[in-house]
């Protein structure tokens, strides 16, 4: 009888294990989760835009620096001529 009982317990555990392993369908995301995803997307897009703005500002500063150097060279050449 104990042998039969052990067999039923083993079969029960195996059946429970298989039932627990089945993938359950996920419910649709709730309003808070949807809002969180939208916030994540907005933050990511904002970071991309800030990087672009930083690159453009860096290029503008380089051009301004080059213009200042050119003007300084011209001024130096004018001063050397006098």
| pLDDT single digits (tens) 47-80 | 999 999 999 999 999 999 999 999 999 999 888 8
Q: How far apart are the first and last CA of the chain?
A: 119
Residue 47 in any domain: the answer is no
20 has pLDDT over 70: no
Residue 81 in any domain: the answer is yes
The whole-chain average pLDDT of the chain stands at 85
Number of domains present in the structure of the chain: 1
Confirm whether pTM is higher than 0.85.
no
Rounded CA gap, 76 and 21, in Å?
Answer: 81
Question: In terms of residue numbers, what domain contains 72?
Answer: 58-82
Residue 8 in any domain: the answer is no
Residue 12 in any domain: the answer is no
Rounded CA gap, 14 and 1, in Å?
Answer: 20
Rounded CA gap, 19 and 49, in Å?
Answer: 48
Residue 50 in any domain: the answer is no
């Amino acid at each position: 009888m104990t042998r039969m009982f052990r067999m039923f317990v083993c079969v029960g555990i195996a059946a429970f294990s298989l039932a627990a392993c089945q993938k359950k369908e996920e419910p649709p995301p709730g309003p808070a989760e949807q809002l969180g995803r939208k916030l994540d997307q907005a933050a990511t897009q904002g970071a991309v835009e800030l990087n672009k703005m930083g690159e453009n500002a860096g290029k503008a500063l380089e051009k301004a620096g080059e213009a200042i150097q050119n003007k300084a060279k011209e001024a130096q050449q004018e001063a050397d001529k006098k």
